[in-house]
């Protein structure tokens, strides 16, 4: 499963269309695909529709960041999770509320933190994401 995919909905960061992303997944025999555009959920309906048409399981979420700092990646468990993410983004976009650096008490959303932003304790719906190039950091710290 590809966990952190962006499209052109990630303004200034994503370059490919949703159609292109799903087509690449089809060509590579991907069965589950997560769309996590940066600070937006606008592409999820087209993404979900195209995934279903191509027999791919869609997972939707958002990459939450401020400027160049990655706070975490959200992955909705279900429609209630999408609503939770949407409420947070709406408060940010419409009311100027600052995006929280950690989980704002999501119940129906998985939260994946980068190594650089791990909270002191993890809840049941929280995980640590490790990039391939960071594996040596983990193994070296255990020595």
**Strand 57-66's sheet: what is its strand order?**
2-5, 32-38, 57-66, 69-76, 109-114, 126-129
Of the listed ranges 54-58, 92-96, 137-141, the one predicted with least confidence: 137-141
pLDDT digits (tens, 9 = 90+) for 79-125: 999 999 999 999 999 999 999 999 999 999 999 999 889 999 999 99
Q: Which CATH number belongs to the domain containing residue 15 in this structure?
A: 3.20.20.140
Q: Are 44 and 82 in contact (CB under 8 A)?
A: yes
The residue segments making up the domain with residue 42 are 2-142
Distance, CA of 23 to CA of 54 (rounded, Å)? 9
Tokens 């992955």, residue located = 75
Domain count, the chain: 1
- pLDDT over 90 at 11, yes or no: no
**In this structure, what DSSP letter does residue 115 have?**
G
pLDDT, one tens digit per residue, over 65-79 is 998 899 999 999 999
Write the CA distances from 24 to 16, 19, 36, integer angstroms.
10, 9, 16
């Amino acid at each position: 499963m590809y966990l952190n995919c962006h499209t052109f909905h990630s303004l200034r960061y994503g370059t490919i269309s949703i159609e292109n992303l799903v087509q690449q997944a089809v060509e590579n025999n991907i069965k589950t695909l997560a769309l996590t555009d940066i600070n937006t959920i606008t592409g999820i309906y087209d993404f979900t529709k195209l995934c279903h048409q191509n027999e791919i399981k869609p997972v939707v979420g958002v990459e939450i960041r401020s400027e160049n700092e990655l706070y975490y990646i959200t992955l909705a468990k279900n429609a209630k999770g999408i609503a939770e993410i949407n409420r947070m983004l709406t408060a940010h976009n419409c009311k100027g509320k600052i995006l929280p650096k950690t989980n704002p008490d999501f119940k129906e959303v998985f939260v994946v933190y980068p190594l650089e932003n791990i909270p002191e304790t993890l809840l049941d719906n929280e995980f640590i994401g490790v990039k391939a190039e960071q594996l040596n950091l983990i193994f070296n710290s255990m020595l």
